[in-house]
Amino acid sequence: MGGPGDPPEGTPEGAPAGGEDEYRSVVFDESFVRAARLQEFSAQERMADHTPAVRRRPTLQRGLSRQALILVLLIAIAFGTAIYMGVRHPYQAPTAQPPEPLRMTVIPLSPQTAVPGSASTDELYAHSPAAQFRIGAEGITLPASRRTAHFSDSQVVTALTTAKDYLVESALDPDVLTGSATRPVRILLDPQQLDQFDQSFERPMADGRHAPTGWLVRFDPAGAQLADSKIRVQGTLQAAEFDANTLEVIADHTFVYALKPTGSDAKAKASLFTVRRELHFRFDRDDLRMHQAELAVSYVQAGPLACSEDSVSRLHPLLAGQTAKAGGPAGTDPYATGSATALCGSLAKSAQPKV
């Protein structure tokens, strides 16, 4: 007789011994039941609504785990950092160094004879070393620019262009030449040099730091005025790296002005006045971006001037027919290269027009 769990007819042929069910290994636990897509209605639900025996359950919405969200966030941060480092300039200086005070030297050149004059400014220029000079800003030419180890072509061009703009505003602007304006020059300077610039005009001193004529060219309006607005100019601009974060531009130009006494008529004789300026400009990346310059060195020779006159605040040119005692043992030619060392030099005869 079979056991209580056996079929009345005994174990069917081929069935597992001991009543083992072949599906007993399949376990329908709670998670399995919950995950099922189909759910059977209860008997009461089927009697009331005559609905099908089963219904479809809504699909469970599974969100990202917290660990996955953190991983995605970290990847996004890393990717953003890589982009920022890629577009950031590799030579960007962390901080800009404050500019040094401008060092300036203004040397008056005293004529050895009476200043030559003529009623025709064209004649004066034609018989002077400035005969082949260009007129105005055309005489300030930009050299072919090349990138440096730490600065691009465009940055070098910006430095040269800013230096040229400074030369034009500080030596060719009629309002600056007469002393009625300084702003066109001031706005081109590094902001950290503005205090020195302002002090130079408020309290001029012959200390190599605070001479207005070291920053720009301006004449005493009570004594001289332009006889010809076509100022002659010739010189050079050179750009090179001062260090890895600074560009330097050296400008060496000679400016020749035709002057006559203030208030004189058109028939009054004019004379030539020559100013040679050697300026050293420095540019960090902030200066290049703002179209400004740091003026580091200003070396000026100007004449004909009397050595006894104050050349710190304004230039007091000697005009046609005027004379002055020689201020130095040898003649200094502002058209020639080289630097004078005396506080006052003699204007070489070769620098004067032969009229």
Each residue's pLDDT, cut to its tens digit, for the chain (355 residues) gives 455 555 555 555 555 555 555 555 555 556 655 665 556 666 666 666 555 665 565 555 555 577 778 888 888 888 878 777 765 544 444 455 677 899 999 999 999 899 999 999 999 999 999 999 999 999 999 999 889 999 999 999 999 999 999 999 999 999 999 999 999 999 999 999 999 999 999 999 999 999 999 999 999 999 999 999 999 999 999 999 999 999 999 999 999 999 999 998 878 999 999 999 999 999 999 999 999 999 999 999 999 999 888 899 999 999 999 998 644 444 566 676 554 445 788 888 888 898 7
Helix (H) or strand (E) holding 169: helix 153-171
Query: Which pLDDT score, from 0 to 100, does residue 231 have?
Result: 98
Instruction: Specify the pLDDT at position 74.
Output: 85
Distance CA 49, CA 27 (A): 32
Instruction: With H, G, I as helix, E, B as strand and everything else as coil, classify residue 46.
Output: helix
Residues 6+ apart with CB under 8 A from 175: 181, 184
124: helix, strand or coil:
helix
**Which residues, 6 or more positions from 327, have their beta carbon under 8 angstroms from its beta carbon?**
108, 109, 110, 306, 307, 342, 344, 345, 346
- Residue 44, SS3? helix
H-helix segments, 203-318: 212-215, 285-290
pLDDT given for residue 330 in this prediction: 47
Rg (CA), the chain: 44
Distance in angstroms (rounded) separating the CA atoms of residues 229 and 6: 128
Please give the pLDDT value at position 329.
Answer: 42
Name which of 308, 227, 333, 307 is nearest 272 in CA terms.
Answer: 227
**pLDDT at residue 181 in the model:** 96
- Tell me, what's the pLDDT at 98? 74
Residue 65: the pLDDT is 73
Report the alpha-carbon angle 311-268-303, nearest 5.
25
Tokens standing for 231? Answer: 């100022």
Tokens of 58: 């809504």
Residues 6+ apart with CB under 8 A from 281: 159, 162, 163, 166, 248, 249, 250, 251, 293, 294, 295, 296
pLDDT of residue 324: 84
State the distance between the two ends of the chain, measured CA to CA, in whole angstroms: 153
Q: Please report the pLDDT score of residue 340 as a whole number.
A: 46
pTM of the full predicted structure? 0.71
